[in-house]
Amino acid sequence: MTHPLPIPPTATPDRSDTEAVLYRVAICAFLYDPSSGGSAGTVDDDVAWCLAPVAHSMPTVIGTLRRTVREQIINRTADHQAFIRQLSALHEIRPERATNLDQER
């Protein structure tokens, strides 16, 4: 996702950016096939694509996110709930609040 105006590196990603990351990680994890040899270059490209929506605003934590996203893609038993909580914390929308909103409906 490109933004029409430059975003300062200290900007907090908004919810649509973190949801885009979650969507991209889910697609890559679903399509990842370890039996095909899954070259590191391909996984690295997938990780970069997944993090593109927040890379502009997260220079200090992008390394940690890169490792976490890679793990989400290649490890089918990775803790997905912890990853979602980590993403939610980036824009300060807590999963507990989202759960409460679902229960109110």
In angstroms, how far is CA 81 from the centroid of its own chain?
12
pLDDT of the chain along its 105 residues, tens only? 344 444 444 467 788 888 999 999 999 999 998 877 655 568 999 999 999 998 877 777 788 899 999 999 999 899 999 999 888 888 764 444 444 434 444
What is the DSSP-derived secondary structure letter of residue 12?
A: P
Give the pTM.
Answer: 0.72
**Integer angstrom CA distances of residue 46 from 3, 85, 100:** 21, 21, 33
